[in-house]
């Protein structure tokens, strides 16, 4: 059974911008897929539809829950402490405080942030903020993790640590990214978006070569 199956997905913003023009997409449980393409090609609009934050036309089937880690971690971290932040999602899913705390502590352990549970999020480094944001999503026990430009603001050591962390997670992952080395380190497949359409699908190396989408030489 496919984890995600999308058929003829379309979306038009209120200003009449046609962001998605009939996207078909699928992915399997545990798969990691990179979404590549120019700015404004529909990648972020597409994943916001998968997460239920936008609603357009077409069919989306997800066998499980999807969680989004946004590009700017400060958009997700707003509680007084890291632990309270990570508890927020489970509490809003109906967990008791004790259940939410247990899930939050487990998620913080997964991302190596147990030591920061009592810290204020604004005291964290960019890499720590990204890990705390991931913990907040993991605590809700999703089947699909969606990352929008996850390496933004990370220095090379923090980026390497993020790759190592994501390799340990069992969930399927969608990576919206311009960072080709990052995509190649994690994804086995890439989908290229252009002008609101998914125009190509295949191994990451093949898609990068076909669209000349690597780093400048």
CB 186 within 8 A of CB 204: no
pLDDT band at 16 (very low <50, low <70, confident <90, very high): confident
- Average pLDDT on 147-156 reads 92
Give kind and range of the element (H or E) at residue 202.
strand 197-202
Q: What is the pLDDT of residue 71?
A: 87
Q: Which CATH architecture has domain 4-180+197-210?
A: 3-Layer(aba) Sandwich (3.40)
- 217 pLDDT more than 70: no
Q: What is the pLDDT of residue 34?
A: 97
Q: What is the pLDDT of residue 165?
A: 95
Residues whose CB falls within 8 Å of the CB of residue 59, separated by 6 or more in sequence, listed in order: 5, 6, 7, 8, 9
CB 199 within 8 A of CB 41: no
Burial category of 49 from C-beta neighbours within 10 Å (exposed 0-12, middle 13-18, buried 19 and up)? buried
CB 47 within 8 A of CB 70: no
Residue whose entry in the numeric block shows the structure tokens 């936008």: 54
- Show me where the domains of the chain are located: 4-180+197-210
Tell me what the pLDDT averaged over the chain comes to: 93
Among 77, 47, 32, 23, CA closest to 195: 23
Give kind and range of the element (H or E) at residue 59.
strand 57-62
| pLDDT, tens digit (0-9, with 9 covering 90-100), for 51-103 | 988 999 999 999 999 999 988 888 788 899 999 999 999 999 999 999 999 99
pLDDT band at 216 (very low <50, low <70, confident <90, very high): low
CB 9 within 8 A of CB 49: yes
Give kind and range of the element (H or E) at residue 181.
helix 180-186
Residues whose CB falls within 8 Å of the CB of residue 85, separated by 6 or more in sequence, listed in order: 76, 77, 78, 79, 121, 132, 136
How far is residue 98 CA from its own chain's centroid? 27
| pLDDT, tens digit (0-9, with 9 covering 90-100), for 152-181 | 889 999 999 999 999 999 999 999 999 999
What distances in angstroms separate CA 23 from CA 160, 198, 199, one per listed residue?
32, 6, 9
> Coil, helix or strand for 179?
coil
């Amino acid at each position: 059974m496919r984890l995600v199956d999308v058929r003829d997905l379309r979306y038009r913003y209120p200003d009449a911008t046609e962001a998605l023009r009939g996207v078909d997409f699928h992915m399997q449980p545990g798969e990691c897929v990179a979404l590549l393409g120019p700015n404004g090609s529909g990648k972020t609009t597409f994943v916001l539809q998968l997460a239920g934050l936008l609603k357009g036309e077409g069919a989306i089937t997800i066998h499980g829950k999807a969680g989004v880690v946004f590009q700017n971690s400060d958009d997700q971290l707003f509680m007084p402490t890291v632990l309270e932040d990570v508890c927020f999602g489970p509490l809003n899913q109906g967990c008791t405080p004790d259940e939410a705390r247990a899930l939050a502590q487990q998620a913080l352990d997964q991302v190596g942030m147990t030591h920061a549970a009592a810290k204020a999020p604004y005291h964290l480094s960019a890499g720590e903020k990204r890990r705390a944001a991931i913990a907040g999503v993991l605590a809700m026990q999703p089947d699909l993790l969606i990352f929008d430009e996850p390496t933004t603001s990370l220095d090379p050591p923090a980026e390497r640590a993020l790759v190592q962390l994501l390799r340990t997670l069992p969930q399927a992952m969608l990576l919206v990214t311009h960072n080709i080395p990052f995509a190649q380190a994690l994804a086995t497949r890439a989908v290229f978006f252009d002008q609101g359409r998914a125009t190509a699908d295949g191994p990451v190396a093949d898609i990068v070569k076909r669209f000349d989408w690597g780093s400048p030489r």
